[in-house]
Structure 1
Amino acid sequence: MNIGLDMMGGDYAPLEAVKGVHQYLSASAQPATLFCIGDEQQVQPLLIEHNIPANTIRLIHAPEVIGYHEHPTKALKEKQQSSIAIGFHLLASGKIDAFLSAGNTGAMLVGTMYTIKAIEGVLRPTISTIVPKLNGATGLLLDVGLNADCKPEQLNQFAVLGSLYAQYVLGVDSPKVGLLNVGEEEGKGNLLAQSTYPLLKENATINFVGNVEGRDVFKDKADVMVCDGFTGNVVLKMAESFYDIAVNRQLDNDEYLHRFHYENYGGTPVLGVAKPVIIGHGISNAAAFKNMILVAEKMLQTNFCGIIKHAFMQAV
């Protein structure tokens, strides 16, 4: 199992990335082989400082970095020696099995779509976010920004992708799928919601429980909640603000509110593509990098991309 990690991506890279590698290696009895992709002059001294033996990782030199404000497509084309470009090259050539980065999100998405591409049958890949439930369970919301405008058929597929992820990666048995809407009754909502509902209702591969409202997001009505990326991103950013409010009010030690901290989940995978690609938060710290690696490890252990491929082959 070979996992590639962009050591230069993130506001606090490469230091926090190195510390995350150290945490992962220290906690794992049988760690994956980590391909640490970054500028040797910056990364190597940190690896030595944090006592990471050379034989436990592979350091891949990448002298260039794609900045947050660079145009994704242009930067990937012009910076072939960047950590993100090299990471996708290694992934596409089979030298690594998964690629993770907290760097330029646009570059990660462009690299995914043009290098790895979607699994056959998937109309559009999607990204999700973990939703902490009040009862201690874990939910999933998708899409949260990759597809601002959607068609009903795409939301129907997001439901399948989210359900599979909840089942095989999050460990939710027979996940309940809900359509995020402005009312519980069938027929509510805008044209997209009204057209999506019957598709979800007729989809025998998911456990559809109907519409869920905004007040249901953190309750146990649904394990997987489906919406367009515009709506999902608004909900995501609002949820992120909960933790900021908790910190400002010194409530961040509250067991439930602490579950909103991004570091607990590491990053979000691009669902529907042929190999695991995981995008981390720009302010990722060591714990977030460690958890990103663990997400990739779980996806590889469960052959999650193969599960998606099989599911969509069955649907054809």
Structure 2
Amino acid sequence: MNALFKPKLIAGNSNKPLAAAIARRISIHRGEPVELVDIRVERFNDQEIFVEVYENVRGEDMFIIQSTSNPANDNLMELMIMCDALRRSSAARITAVMPYFGYARQDRRSKARTPISAKLVANLLTVAGIERVLTMDLHAAQIQGFFDVPVDNLYAAPVFALDIAHHFPDLGAVTVVSPDVGGVARARELAERIDADLAIVDKRRAAPGEIASMTVIGDVRDRVCVIVDDICDTAGTLVKAADLLLGHGAREVHAYITHGVLSGPAIERVTGSQLKSLVVTDSIEPSAATRAAPNIRVVPIAPLFGQAILNISNGTSVSSLFNSGTLGPIYEAFYPAAA
């Protein structure tokens, strides 16, 4: 299918700056302008969503860039309606580029008579006509199996490894910390990439949302601790983990989080905490308060997603982007020494 060698990008309202940045990155790689497809997404008075695509997309390889972040339901519905519009316009293939996959935390039945919403969302997207999904750091890896279409799950760890190597000259003093037992695999992967020690914060909950006790497994005395996790929502656990690590003798505490949901009191908690820095990606569009926070920094993922879209469109490997060495040249403008 010759059309698949030139991807066409279309964006919803969830994260337009990221969509524009991805288009710019693909333009640089291709050596020719790649613009977002002209589209109208609006709401009727009763908040029904209406979509109109102004360009011909017949036979095209379409990539819809849309995170299902807050407001999750509106953004999810936008994504499905855009997909339906493209499918009825005879697009050759439709890929959902979802840097942040909402509802991923509801990936299993935690108690009786509860839903598995992540599976429901997978069914909805597939029925709407999505033929492939490109996302990053799914909350649970098994969500890939909820889909009956290919799912490419990118990882922020290689980008974080480049960032840590750039900002922490003495990697020998760094200890990577998982904020709970469930995130050990993610923390171990990053620790292996930068050849650092690993520690774990063991968290016991008295009730949902209430932490009864936290203990540190591993030696963090006089270490530069880097907490790594996929989602930071209200930042309560993150701030308490930082206090705990410092109480156990850590020299300073930083955090690297893929998806900065940062809802409710999160920004205020982070800025008022002992965290030296919180690094998030722009998988969710950072708010003005997030960008203004003195100890919060945003790492761009447009280079990573731009290259992934090109690889999918050209039929080449996406897993090559799991390697920090492959990403070095792509992120040369941000981390010159890594190229």
Q: Specify if TM > 0.5.
A: no
* Larger fraction in strand: 2
* Larger fraction in helix: 1
> Normalised by the size of structure 2, how large is the TM-score?
0.36
Q: Give the structure, 1 or 2, with the largest relative contact order (CA under 8 Å, sep 6 or more).
A: 1
Structure number with greater Rg is 2
> Normalised by the size of structure 1, how large is the TM-score?
0.38
